[in-house]
Structure formats: structure tokens, C-alpha cells
């Protein structure tokens, strides 16, 4: 039997879990090689990125180096940046040369969707990588340092206004973490600053927040956000972003030096460029096996695939739990194909949702049971701690949280 | 009684301890203001910088934010970069305007001394700041990633050769930490690489290593370094550094992409520019009260002062323990001057030395008793843990060490 090669692009939730499941599923097919490509040498646990920005968790504790994870396996990890995918020729072009494949898993994730809003891409911060999270933290601390020296009240208020565009999960979790950091730590340590000059503005284009959870929980969450002093504005699409201001559709202008774009995602440009059918977000449309209809053996999953859920009559959302379930299904399908067995269609099973709303608060629903307040927050911590990859990171994040419960947060602006 | 102002420049060991002691000594003189200036908003615990590079300790855990430290005191911390010191006019020029003073403490520390070696300042890494430590770590991991892909054996060996210039405390502690990281973690995770291709070269201009400890301990340390596989070269001054190579005085060339300059320090350029008597390292020559002879009320300490020790017949070394003792003496002298009391000359009391030589090993001498191996290493950890400022950092560094004892070190190259 000739050697066959499965190539997985990307080591996010989709790619990493696909590699881990394939490794397990192909334990007997020794002749099949698994190659995993990523431009970094680690897997980043995105659901805790907002805690990096607030300083609750150390950056390195949400990062899992890939080489030790695959050291004793047949998975061949290569740090390489994908340049393009040649579906006809069954090969991947990378900055480190070409890689041929028999089976392909496209799990390149998404990039920020600025919806062509004027100035957004040039001016706004995003929250998609560790660098984003660390950079945003430093910027926030710099704004407080500058405001402390600023005599002009208008300029000081602009320095102390923080605008997060889009009240999805990312926007809401980041906003509440930042509000905690500002109210509980920063204002205590900048006694010259008046807390009433600080604003956290959260404009949202649609009529509700956190689309991932049920409508009832979203309203409960909205109430909690407003009681924390976060200015949530519904039906308020942003139409322009510039250095120093955000303009809303109703003509209102928010003067600010800090715009964080948390309004949505679209497919990775490499995926967007594939010569296959795609949706309006550039995601490739896959069949019920997560396979590209014209290119058997090539699969796409996670944020870069448009996979419709027959029950929802809508595409599955770009979340980690979707990517992880799809990864398992794709691994299973590839293993079956290698053995000549019949494949099974992918069925998504929604496990629930949890949204953290700052220290001691949250909303969520698991298995049809709704939680809010402290129980939701504790559940959030328990669930996401368990989902971290590797015991070292679990121990370290738990210790960060325990230390954080006893001591004040750090406010050093570290230049790197 | 008119208000008087004491201005302290720099929040390193000298400046921070001067501020803390002055605050305590002047508890009754409410009318005296204390102003502390630093270009960052934190104090950095330099003795653990090599552990940031090796990944043993988190960067933020060796950093103490200054504002919370002085929140309830009269010390007015201002984040400002000192541009120049006007000793005649008794004022400091900063990027945030002018600050006048009645008493001045110059504690601006040192910069790297490249001894005018060709190409060193342009090419070599230094280890003086958190940014340096994080940058060097990322570079080191990048060298392994690149070597893993390199087919040409000469180029691969050059990528895997690391040259640390100068076998003082910094060079030796860094070299042993890196050797641990390379031998115990990196080589296990890059199975394509041959350990025999990795070189750690430590050229030293003088005839011995670690000048801070006694000659007997230095020879013991040298033996330990060599047994760990570190190529220490004595009487081997570096005469040129270029991209890709280090040239020694005997004409030998070490092909390498990584040169770390740990060969010595000189005074901060602002101090070097002062119109007073200085030594060959640009440090101001102070009298027995650590005062500038021509400018009463202006004091200098730590790495930017040349303070001769009558017993040693030599200037005191640029170490943290010298700076901390001097800080206490200066605070005492200023407090006495404010009360009209007679001042007392500064006497340095050497407390001992400890050099860590990687995990489980070290050499040191405290109160005349010499230690080596595990006892010296444990003592190093106990002493430096105790010297960290604030319980939060003590707890976090101790936890980093405990976690580090159970799990493998991280090898993720984090881009920030």
C-alpha cells in the first residue's frame, strides 16, 4: 500500500483537534502521514484572550507549544505560513516550499470583518491574537498615564473613553473585564483622575447583545452591563472610525483614542481566494461531510467553512465548540475513507453557551438550564479551565485566578 | 517653614529604596515633598532577568508597579523621562516639563559598555531590560525553528551557536539557564537536530570568571560550567562582532547568529554628561556622604556613582546590594540635613554573593561561609525571592518555580 499524506492547515481549535483525533483514529494505519502546518509554533486558547488584556491571566498560560504535544506521535508539525492552496494539483504552497496531500483539512480560521467601515481597519484595535491582547493592554495603560498628565478636560475625557464596537461574546466579555480593571484597580491608583470622566461605550448594530445565547439571557446580560456602568447602545451601527472619534449611524460622535473592533469575522484571505462556492463572508460552502463538493478529499471546518445546520436553517456560528466537533467528524471521515468504509454526515450537537461578565458575574445556558450571576461565572471558569489543553496550563491559569483573588491586578505598562 | 522638595531620578534599586527610606525617615516632616521620576511605571527586579529569557519565570512577575506602592504615601511618582540635570539651577528637565529640587538623588543606573568593540553595539543583544530578555528569548526559539528547516550543516551549526561575551555574573547565570533550556527542553522537542551541533561559547577577556565572588569559588564555578558543556574561554577578548560571527583577539572566529553582550556597564549618558569629575566609566565621583563635592544637596548612588571603598582601595561594584545600602544612607543623610543634624559617612558592608548556575547548582559565599551545588542554588532562590518587592510577586515567582519543577519549560515563540 503506498504512503498517503493528510495535511492539516492551521493549529487553532479545528486544526489541532483534527490532528489529535486523526492520530488516534489512524493508530493502526502506520503508513499514513499526518502533517500539521501553522505559522506560529503554538496553539492559542482564544476564549481567554480578554483576560490577557485585563491582566487576569499571563499571556503564556493560554498558549500550548505544539512540538511537545506531538513529540511522541506520528504528527509531523511544521512551522510554515500557507501562501495558497492548489486544489486541482493537491498541493499547498508555503513560505517553506510545497507540500502535497491526499487528504486536506482546511482550518485556517478567520480574520476581523470591518464591514468596509471607513477608517476601521486602519485605526481600530482587534482581539484575534496574543499580540493584539498585549498591545491593547499596553495602550489602555498608556491612556491612563497620559490622562494623568493632561490638564485639558476635553482631551482627558477623550483619553479616558474606550469604545468597543459590537456587543457579541468577545465585545461583552472584554468590556466587563476592562470595566473591572478600570473601576477596581486603575482609578484607585490614579487618584488625580475622576471616575466620572471614564466611559466605556459599546455600540451594537443589531437590536440585542450576545447573539449566541437565548434572547432572555441576552436581555438579562444587557441589564447587568448597564448596571456596571457600560454604555451599551443598541441599533447603533458605526459608520466611521478616525483617530480621535467614532461616528454612529444616528450622527452621534464618540470622541475617543481607543476603538476595539469586536464586530465580527470573515474567512481567512487564502480561503476567500479558493476557486469554489463561498458565502458572503468568504467561507467555503461544504457538504454534509464537511467536504468541498468539487474536490473530494478536501475538507474545511471551523470559521472558514459555511456548514448549514438543517435544524437551524442557518450556517453554524464561528465558535470553538463547532470547530472542535467538526474536527472530530472530519478525522473520523478521513479514517473511514482510508479504510474504504462508508462516511457518515456531520451532525452538530449544541452543548450550551456561557458568557463571562467580569468578576463574579455571567450568563449562560447548558443542556437547557439557564444560569446567571456567580453560578454562571463559576461554571465559565470551570468549563474553560477544563478545555485548556494540557495540565500545565490548567494549573497555571487556576493559580493566576487564585493569586488574582488575593492581590490587586498589575498596572505596569511593559514595553515589548 | 517653606516647603522643600527631594527629587529622586530612577526607580531601580537605588532610586526605589531611596524613596521608600525617605518616606519612612521623613514621617514627621510633613512639609517635605518627595518626587520620584522614572520613564516606566514600574520597578524591574533585574537579578531574575535571565530566568525570563529561559522561560522559568513570567515577565510580569519580576515587575512591581510603582503607583500602588506609593498610593498611600507622600511620594509623588511621575512617569517622566529625564532629559538633563541642571545642577547649577537645581532643576531637572524632563519630557514632561521641569522639576525643581532642594535635594537630588541621582539613581539613573547604567547602560551596556561595549568598550568600542567593532559592531558590538549594532549587532549584539543586551540584557538590561524586560524587552531585552523577552526579545532574546524569542530570538533563541527562532534560531531553533530555523535550524530545524536548514539542510546546510554549516549554516545549521551557525544558527545553533550562541556566544555570550563576558563571564561576569550576568553572563554566567544566563549561560547556565540557557544551557538548561537547550539541553533539557529544546533538543527533546526538535528531534531532527543533533545536540552535538549546539554550542554555547563564553569568551572572557580576563583570566577568571565572576569577579564578584572569591577566586576559589570562581574556579569551582568554571569547572561546573565546563562540565555542563559551556565553552568558557579565558583571556579571550572579543575584538569584533558582525552579523554571523564573533572574532576573538587570538584571531579565532566563532560563526554565530546570536551574540549577547554581558561584558560590563557604564554610566547612563545623562550622568556621563554632567559637568563634574567622573571616572573612566562616566560615573560621577562622590564623597564619603555620596554627595557631589561641588554641589551640596545632590547625591549619586548605585551604578552611576563612583564611590571608593577605603578598605578595598577600589570603587564599589555596580551591584544591587551596593545601591540598596547607598539608598538607605542617602535617605538618612537627607533626613538629617532637613533636621539640621550632622551627617554620617557611608560605610559599605558586604553581605555576600550568590551565583546561580542553572537548575540545582550554584556557588556563593555569605558571612564568610562558602556554598556550592544544591545548597547554593536553594539559598539563591530563598534570598532573591525574599528580596522581591511585594508579596504578590514573591508568591507568583515561587509558584512559577514550583510549576517549573513539575512540567517542561515552554517553547512557544510568542510574537510581541
- Judged by average pLDDT, the poorest of A20-29, A106-115, B292-301 is A20-29
| In chain A, residues 190-219 whose CB comes closer than 8 Å to chain B | 190-191
Q: Quote the CA–CA distance of A294 and A88 in Å, as a whole number.
A: 10
Instruction: Give B372→chain A minimum CA distance, Å.
Output: 31
The pLDDT value given to residue B1: 45
Which residues of A fall within a CB distance of 8 Å from B142? none
* Test the B interface: residue of A41, A80, A188, A396 with most B CBs within 10 Å: A41
pLDDT of residue B2 exceeding 80, the answer is: no
The pLDDT value given to residue A113: 96
- pLDDT digit string (tens) for A161-172? 999 999 999 999
Cβ atoms < 10 Å from Cβ of B306: 18
Strands A161-165, A258-261: pairing is: parallel
The pLDDT value given to residue A394: 96
The DSSP H or E segment spanning A293 is none
Q: Quote the CA–CA distance of B146 and A392 in Å, as a whole number.
A: 26
How many residues comprise chain A?
416
- In this prediction, residue B296 has a pLDDT band, given cuts at 50, 70 and 90, of very high
CB contact under 8 A, B134 and A58: no
Q: Which CATH class is domain B4-39+80-110+266-350?
A: alpha beta
What is the average per-residue pLDDT within A43-52? 96
Is A189 within 8 Å of chain B by CB? yes
pLDDT of residue B360 exceeding 50, the answer is: yes
CB contact under 8 A, A407 and B399: no
Asked if residue B42 lies in contact with residue A414, where contact means CB atoms within 8 angstroms, the answer is yes
The pLDDT value given to residue B374: 96
What is the average per-residue pLDDT within A342-347? 95
What is the average per-residue pLDDT within A197-222? 94
Asked if residue A268 lies in contact with residue A108, where contact means CB atoms within 8 angstroms, the answer is yes
Here the cell at position B7 is: 527629587
Is A68 within 8 Å of chain B by CB? yes
Which residues of B fall within a CB distance of 8 Å from A149? 96
- In this prediction, residue A416 has a pLDDT band, given cuts at 50, 70 and 90, of low
Q: Which CATH number fits domain A120-263+353-406: 3.50.50.100, 3.30.230.30, 2.60.40.10, 3.90.76.10?
A: 3.50.50.100
CATH 3.50.50.100 residue window(s) in chain A: 120-263+353-406
Q: For chain A, give the mean pLDDT.
A: 94
- pLDDT digit string (tens) for A279-310? 999 999 999 999 999 999 999 999 999 999 87
SS (H, E, C) chain B: CCCEEEEEECCCHHHHHHHHHHHHHCCCCCCEEEEEEECCCEEECHHHHHHHHHCCCCHHHHEEEHHHHHCCCCEEEEECCEEEEECCCCEEEECCEEEECCEEEECCCEEECCCCCECHHHHCECCCCHHHHHHHHHHHHHHHHHHHHCCCHHHHHHHCEEEEECCCHHHHHHHHHHHHHHHHHHHHHCCCCCHHHCEEEEECCCCCCCCCCCHHHHHHHHHHHHHCCCEEECCCCEEEEECEEEEECCCCEEEECEEEECCCEEECHHHHCCCCCECCCCCEECCCCCEECCEEEEEECHHHEECEECCCCEECCCCHHHHHHHHHHHHHHHHHHHHCCCCCCCCCCCCEEEEECCCCCEEEEECCEEEECHHHHHHHHHHHHHHCCCHHHHHHHHHHHHHHHHCCCCCCCCCC
- pLDDT digit string (tens) for B15-70? 999 999 999 999 888 889 999 999 999 999 999 999 999 999 999 999 999 999 99
Asked if residue A22 lies in contact with residue A331, where contact means CB atoms within 8 angstroms, the answer is yes
Query: What CATH number has the domain spanning A4-39+80-111+266-341?
Result: 3.50.50.60
Asked if residue A258 lies in contact with residue A157, where contact means CB atoms within 8 angstroms, the answer is no
Q: What percent of chain B has a predicted confidence (pLDDT) above 70?
A: 99
* Test the A interface: residue of B44, B52, B59, B67 with most A CBs within 10 Å: B67
- In this prediction, residue B331 has a pLDDT band, given cuts at 50, 70 and 90, of very high
CATH 3.50.50.60 residue window(s) in chain A: 4-39+80-111+266-341
The pLDDT value given to residue B72: 87
- pLDDT digit string (tens) for B63-111? 999 999 999 899 999 999 999 999 999 999 999 999 999 999 999 999 9
What is the average per-residue pLDDT within B386-392? 94
The pLDDT value given to residue A30: 81
Asked if the interface predicted TM-score (ipTM) of this complex is over 0.85, the answer is yes
Which residues of B fall within a CB distance of 8 Å from A79? 145, 148
What is the average per-residue pLDDT within B145-162? 96
- In this prediction, residue B368 has a pLDDT band, given cuts at 50, 70 and 90, of confident
- In this prediction, residue A2 has a pLDDT band, given cuts at 50, 70 and 90, of low
pLDDT of residue B208 exceeding 50, the answer is: yes
Strands A295-300, A291-292: pairing is: antiparallel
pLDDT of residue A1 exceeding 60, the answer is: no
Q: What percent of chain A has a predicted confidence (pLDDT) above 90?
A: 91
- In this prediction, residue B312 has a pLDDT band, given cuts at 50, 70 and 90, of confident
CB contact under 8 A, B65 and A416: no
pLDDT of residue B242 exceeding 50, the answer is: yes
* Test the A interface: residue of B53, B65, B149 with most A CBs within 10 Å: B65
The DSSP H or E segment spanning A16 is helix A13-25
Q: Catalytic residue positions of B?
A: 173
- Across the interface, of A67, A403, A412, the residue whose CB is closest to B411 is A67
- Across the interface, of B149, B410, B416, the residue whose CB is closest to A134 is B416
Asked if residue A345 lies in contact with residue A326, where contact means CB atoms within 8 angstroms, the answer is no
- pLDDT digit string (tens) for A77-91? 999 999 999 999 999
- In this prediction, residue B416 has a pLDDT band, given cuts at 50, 70 and 90, of low
Q: Catalytic residue positions of A?
A: 173
Here the cell at position A267 is: 474567512
Q: For chain B, give the mean pLDDT.
A: 94
Buried b / exposed e along B123-152 (16+ C-beta atoms within 10 A): bbbbbbbbebbbbbbbbbbbbbbebbebee
Amino acid at each position: 500500500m503506498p504512503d498517503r499524506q493528510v495535511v492539516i492547515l492551521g493549529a487553532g481549535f479545528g486544526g489541532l483537534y483534527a490532528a489529535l483525533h486523526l492520530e488516534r483514529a489512524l493508530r493502526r494505519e502506520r503508513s499514513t502521514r499526518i502533517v500539521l502546518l501553522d505559522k506560529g509554533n503554538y496553539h492559542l486558547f482564544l476564549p481567554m484572550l480578554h483576560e490577557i488584556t485585563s491582566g487576569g491571566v499571563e499571556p503564556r498560560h493560554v498558549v500550548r507549544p505544539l512540538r511537545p504535544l506531538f513529540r511522541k506521535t506520528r504528527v509531523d508539525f511544521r512551522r510554515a505560513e500557507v501562501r495558497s492552496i492548489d486544489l486541482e494539483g493537491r498541493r499547498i504552497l508555503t513560505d517553506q516550499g510545497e507540500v502535497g496531500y491526499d487528504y486536506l483539512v482546511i482550518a485556517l480560521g478567520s480574520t476581523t470583518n470591518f464591514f468596509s467601515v471607513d477608517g476601521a481597519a486602519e485605526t481600530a484595535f482587534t482581539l484575534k491574537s496574543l499580540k493584539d491582547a498585549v498591545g491593547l493592554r499596553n495602550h489602555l495603560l498608556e491612556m491612563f498615564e497620559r490622562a494623568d498628565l493632561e490638564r485639558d478636560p476635553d482631551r482627558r475625557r477623550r483619553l479616558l473613553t474606550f469604545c468597543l464596537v459590537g456587543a457579541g461574546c468577545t465585545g461583552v466579555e472584554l468590556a466587563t473585564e476592562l470595566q473591572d480593571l478600570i473601576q477596581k484597580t486603575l482609578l484607585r491608583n490614579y487618584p488625580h483622575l475622576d471616575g466620572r470622566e471614564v466611559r466605556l461605550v459599546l455600540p451594537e448594530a443589531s437590536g440585542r447583545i450576545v447573539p449566541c445565547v437565548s434572547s432572555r439571557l441576552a436581555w438579562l446580560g444587557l441589564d447587568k452591563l448597564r448596571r456596571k456602568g457600560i454604555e451599551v447602545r443598541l441599533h447603533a451601527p458605526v459608520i466611521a472610525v478616525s483617530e480621535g472619534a467614532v461616528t454612529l449611524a444616528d450622527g452621534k460622535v464618540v470622541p475617543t483614542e481607543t476603538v476595539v473592533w469586536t464586530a465580527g469575522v470573515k474567512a481567512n484571505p487564502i480561503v476567500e481566494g479558493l476557486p469554489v462556492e463561498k458565502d458572503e463572508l468568504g467561507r467555503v460552502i461544504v457538504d454534509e461531510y464537511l467536504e468541498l463538493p468539487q474536490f473530494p478529499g478536501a475538507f474545511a471546518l471551523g470559521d472558514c467553512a459555511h456548514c448549514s445546520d438543517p435544524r437551524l436553517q442557518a450556517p453554524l456560528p464561528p465558535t470553538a465548540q463547532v470547530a472542535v466537533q467538526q474536527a472530530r467528524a472530519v478525522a473520523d471521515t478521513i479514517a473511514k475513507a482510508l479504510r474504504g468504509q462508508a462516511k457518515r454526515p456531520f451532525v452538530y450537537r449544541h452543548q450550551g453557551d456561557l458568557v463571562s461578565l467580569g468578576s463574579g458575574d455571567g450568563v449562560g445556558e447548558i443542556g437547557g438550564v439557564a444560569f446567571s450571576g456567580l453560578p454562571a461565572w463559576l461554571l465559565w471558569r470551570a468549563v474553560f479551565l477544563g478545555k485548556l489543553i494540557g495540565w500545565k496550563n490548567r494549573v497555571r491559569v487556576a493559580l493566576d485566578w487564585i493569586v488574582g483573588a488575593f492581590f490587586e491586578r498589575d498596572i505596569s505598562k511593559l514595553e515589548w
